[in-house]
């Protein structure tokens, strides 16, 4: 997955001015959201949310994904978390705890209340997280140091899962330890996913080095731990078995590592032994996000053929939200509407926003604007003039 141009940009900005000036306000409690809902998870509609601010430094709201009609999002993946040796964990270019992300974390609570499962992602194109000096260390104390940083983010923001996007070499033992540790600490409902390039699932080109089939086998919980025989069965997947640590794979069918222009690559992955329900077909949401974009009508044709063959597939994943086609940065939720029409026609989510919640979100938004320290009041006027998110227009309860 690629770094967004905006994240490269914000890397050069100074810290927001609001750090020490937050007034008291009602906060949205970060309490566990209702997790049980009758909606079927399959087929999944998964979107990565990486770019959190526009090029003026104004926060981008994810709430259209539940406010706009005809969207049946199942999972939102907040990204990208990065671990680097001798540093604290980052979310893109900031600490995840920075006020910069108040809007992000206030909104993920609302998403969870609407029934969307909100997980995090660590890794991606930026190296460091899975190095031998960090999470792939053979030294236990080193692993513990960096794993604790990740676990703290999960607990603080009540993330319901973690996507491990390993795009640099990592050892087999290292990835197995990380998956098993997340499962042990957060339980079997914790949604562990990985994001291999599609070809890595059929013994072809890979970025992560380790063997996904062997990982799936090592991450399978025996029906009874007393039998001691973990019968590996990568063809069942979590949905069927309820005993897999890994819930599904966000396989990247783009960047030359597979395509959904036709059913062939997905079929090859299934032929290699993977359950079609376990495979979420990763797609670029815009040709601007990398090479290998498939337009919605071609994608529909592929999905129709795969569903005819397998009955159901794991779903579709999109990288990434902020500039998705066909609406682009002005209306990025339209991609999710198109995918819903392909995958889950007629299904949608309901947003409940009270006046009090709108006030809380608006306050958080004001704190999350990146103030450009080198700029004068002209910048503040620019910020103010830019399209604001109107949370009060969303009030419906």
Ligand X SMILES: *[C@@H]1O[C@H](CO)[C@@H](O)[C@H](O)[C@H]1NC(C)=O
Binding site for ligand X (CB under 6 A): 22, 25, 27-28, 30, 56-57, 102, 105-106, 109, 203, 206, 209, 211, 213-214, 231, 233, 235-236, 297, 300, 304, 341-342, 359, 362-364, 366-367, 372, 374-375, 379, 384
Q: Residue 144 CB, nearest distance to ligand X (Å)?
A: 26
**Which residue in this structure is represented by tokens 């992602």?**
121
Q: Residue 140 CB, nearest distance to ligand X (Å)?
A: 25
Phi, psi at residue 226, to the nearest 5°? -75, -20
Q: Residue 362 CB, nearest distance to ligand X (Å)?
A: 4
Q: How far apart are CA 48 and CA 99, in angstroms?
A: 21
Cβ distance to ligand X smaller for residue 146 or 365: 365
What is the residue-wise DSSP string for 110-174?
A: HHHHTT-EEEEEEESSS--TTSTTTTT-SSHHHHHHHHHHHHHHHHHTT-SEEEEE--S---HHH
The token duo for 350 is 């309901």
Phi, psi at residue 44, to the nearest 5°? -80, 145
Contacts of 113 (CB under 8 A, 6+ apart): 33, 34, 352
3-state secondary structure 303-318: HHHHHHHHCCCCEEEE
Q: Would you state the torsion angle of the CA atoms of residues 292, 61, 193, 258, taken in this order, to the nearest 10 degrees?
A: 0
Q: Residue 326 CB, nearest distance to ligand X (Å)?
A: 13
Cβ distance to ligand X smaller for residue 113 or 142: 113
Q: Residue 55 CB, nearest distance to ligand X (Å)?
A: 6
Q: Residue 304 CB, nearest distance to ligand X (Å)?
A: 5
Cβ distance to ligand X smaller for residue 26 or 140: 26
Cβ distance to ligand X smaller for residue 206 or 283: 206
Q: Residue 56 CB, nearest distance to ligand X (Å)?
A: 6
Q: How far apart are CA 339 and CA 73, in angstroms?
A: 9
Of 35, 64, 351, nearest to 191 (Cα)?
35
**Which residue in this structure is represented by tokens 């920075």?**
98
Cβ distance to ligand X smaller for residue 192 or 316: 316
Q: Residue 2 CB, nearest distance to ligand X (Å)?
A: 20
Cβ distance to ligand X smaller for residue 55 or 144: 55
Cβ distance to ligand X smaller for residue 183 or 366: 366
Cβ distance to ligand X smaller for residue 186 or 391: 391
What is the residue-wise DSSP string for 182-228?
A: HHHHH-TTSEEEE--BGGGGGTS--SS-S-HHHHHHHTBPPSSTTT-
């Amino acid at each position: 997955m690629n770094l967004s141009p905006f994240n490269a940009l914000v890397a050069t900005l100074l810290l927001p001015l609001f750090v020490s000036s937050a007034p008291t306000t009602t906060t949205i409690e970060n309490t566990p959201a209702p997790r049980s809902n009758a909606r079927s998870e399959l087929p999944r509609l998964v979107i990565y949310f990486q770019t959190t601010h526009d090029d003026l430094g104004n926060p981008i709201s994810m709430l259209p994904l539940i406010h706009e009609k005809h969207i049946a999002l199942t999972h939102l993946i907040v990204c990208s978390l990065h671990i680097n040796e001798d540093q604290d964990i980052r979310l893109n270019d900031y600490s995840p705890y920075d006020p910069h992300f108040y809007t992000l974390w206030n909104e993920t609570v609302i998403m969870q209340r609407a029934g969307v499962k909100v997980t995090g992602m660590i890794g991606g194109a930026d190296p460091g997280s899975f190095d031998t000096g960090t999470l792939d260390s053979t030294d236990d104390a080193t692993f513990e140091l960096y794993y604790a940083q990740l676990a703290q983010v999960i607990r603080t923001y009540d993330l319901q899962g973690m996507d491990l996007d390993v795009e640099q070499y990592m050892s087999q033992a290292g990835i197995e330890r990380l998956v098993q540790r997340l499962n042990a600490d957060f339980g079997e409902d914790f949604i562990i996913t990985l994001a291999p390039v599609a070809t890595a699932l059929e013994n072809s080109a890979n970025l992560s080095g380790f063997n996904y089939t062997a990982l799936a086998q090592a991450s399978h919980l025996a029906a009874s731990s007393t039998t001691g025989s973990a019968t590996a069965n990568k063809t069942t997947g979590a949905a069927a078995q309820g005993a897999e640590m890994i819930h599904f794979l966000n396989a990247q069918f783009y960047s030359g590592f597979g395509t959904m222009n036709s059913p062939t690559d997905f079929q090859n992955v299934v032929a290699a032994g993977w359950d079609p329900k376990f495979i979420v077909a990763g797609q670029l949401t815009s040709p601007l996000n990398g090479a290998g974009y498939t337009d919605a009508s071609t994608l529909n044709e592929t999905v129709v053929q795969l569903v005819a063959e397998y009955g159901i597939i794991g779903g579709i994943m999109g990288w990434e939200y902020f500039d998705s086609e066909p609406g682009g940065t002005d209306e990025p939720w339209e991609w999710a509407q198109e995918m819903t029409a392909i995958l889950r026609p007629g299904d949608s989510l309901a947003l409940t926003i009270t006046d009090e919640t709108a006030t809380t979100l608006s306050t958080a938004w004001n704190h999350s604007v990146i103030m450009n320290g080198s700029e004068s009041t002209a910048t503040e006027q620019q910020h103010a003039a830019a399209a604001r998110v109107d949370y009060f227009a969303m009030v419906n309860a």
